[in-house]
Amino acid sequence: MNSDHQIVDSLQKEQTISLEDFRFLLETQDKELIEYLAACARKTTTAIYDNHVYIRGLIEFTNICKNDCFYCGIRKSNANAQRYRLTKDNILACCKTGYALGFRTFVLQGGEDAYFTDTLVCDIVSSIKKQHPDCAITLSIGEKTRESYQKYFNAGADRYLLRHETASEAHYQLLHPAELSFKNRMRCLRDLKDIGYQTGCGFMVGSPHQTLETLYEDIQFIQQFHPEMVGIGPFIPHKDTPFAEKSAGTLEQTLRLLSIIRLVHPHVLLPATTALGTIHPQGREMGILHGANVVMPNLSPTQVREKYMLYNNKISTGVESAERLDDLKHRMESIGYQVVVMRGDYK
């Protein structure tokens, strides 16, 4: 037996890892050990969630944003972005289509667009709930006041995704303009959890200025915050952003981090993200094989999909599109997993 297995065994048993072991697992070239890490993560996932893959219908309902995050293709300064927003009726139609396909969670994601007032967001949430009472609604619309989060929750929103982006305050400021603060991002996450949302944080792998130490802080943050969901995917540059010339995060690092996150937080709902699918045609399957248990196919109307361009070449029409759910099911079956028609709540 490989003596380095004990690093993974101890991670699995203690659900924690030292900086030294973390560095070792991210840097090792030992194929057998890398596969062992993935196998332990898979086993941990299936012990809790069986071989089930939860699906979420992703509706990207506006790409209008008041923020100017350096990495993001829909930042306000990008004059090349063709802006759009969906109407309430468009969104309800997406949900109807999605419901018929078997989706029982809808994720409403967008830029921070003032057109969507609290009243309108609540109206959309409660209308979806009325038409589909057996479905969960996830919001991912950025930083709001506690009062706003409470209103959406009262209207029926179940979950909220707000990636922390990085657990290092200094790194956070290198990814965002001065008007965005780490403290407010953290305040938002605490409020969301306090209110009772199933809350998701997360980060990009290989974002500019990220280091092994900041990544380790991300892992520690996940251990402390204990979110119900964690979204990670490779950073991919967007041509019209200040980070256009930066290099992308890698498949390998993302997969290893998925496995490590699974082992430090066994119950977490962990998606194999669109960004992972974008850097490799089998990224989604590989994510599942490294401990992920969620995929989020795109349910937005096809004509707007290419406008929600967070990064170069973001995929939206292949197997990640909700209409091609059968392909996704077959792909998951081919690796021994089953796409299920369920809300897929945190266990």
Q: Cβ of residue 149: shortest distance to ligand SAH, in angstroms?
A: 13
Give which of 276, 255, 280, 59 is closest to 161, Cα–Cα: 59
| 206 in contact with ligand SAH (CB under 6 A) | no
| 59 in contact with ligand SAH (CB under 6 A) | no
Pattern 1-40, binding to ligand SAH, x per CB under 6 A?
----------------------------------------
Q: Which is nearer to ligand SAH, 33 or 261 (CB)?
A: 261
Q: How many Å apart are CA 107 and CA 92, to the nearest integer?
A: 12
Interior CA angle at 87 toward 82 and 89, to 5°? 145
47: Cβ contacts below 8 Å, ≥ 6 apart? 266
Binding span for ligand SAH by CB under 6 A among 105-113, 171-179, 297-305, 325-333: 105-113
95: Cβ contacts below 8 Å, ≥ 6 apart? 57, 59, 106, 128, 131, 132, 135, 299
Measured distance between the N- and C-terminal CA atoms of the chain, rounded to whole angstroms: 33
Q: Cβ of residue 330: shortest distance to ligand SAH, in angstroms?
A: 27
* Contact residue for ligand SAH among 71, 103, 149, 172 (CB under 6 A): 71
Q: Cβ of residue 133: shortest distance to ligand SAH, in angstroms?
A: 26
Pattern 220-259, binding to ligand SAH, x per CB under 6 A?
-------------x-xx-x---------------------
* Contact residue for ligand SAH among 21, 30, 68, 112 (CB under 6 A): 112
Give which of 309, 298, 285, 209 is closest to 249, Cα–Cα: 209
Q: Which is nearer to ligand SAH, 36 or 71 (CB)?
A: 71
Give which of 333, 236, 238, 233 is closest to 276, Cα–Cα: 233
Q: How many Å apart are CA 139 and CA 154, to the nearest integer?
A: 13
Interior CA angle at 332 toward 329 and 338, to 5°? 75
Under the rule (CB under 6 A), what is the footprint of ligand SAH?
Answer: 71-72, 109, 111-112, 140-142, 162-163, 165, 204, 233, 235-236, 238, 275, 310-311
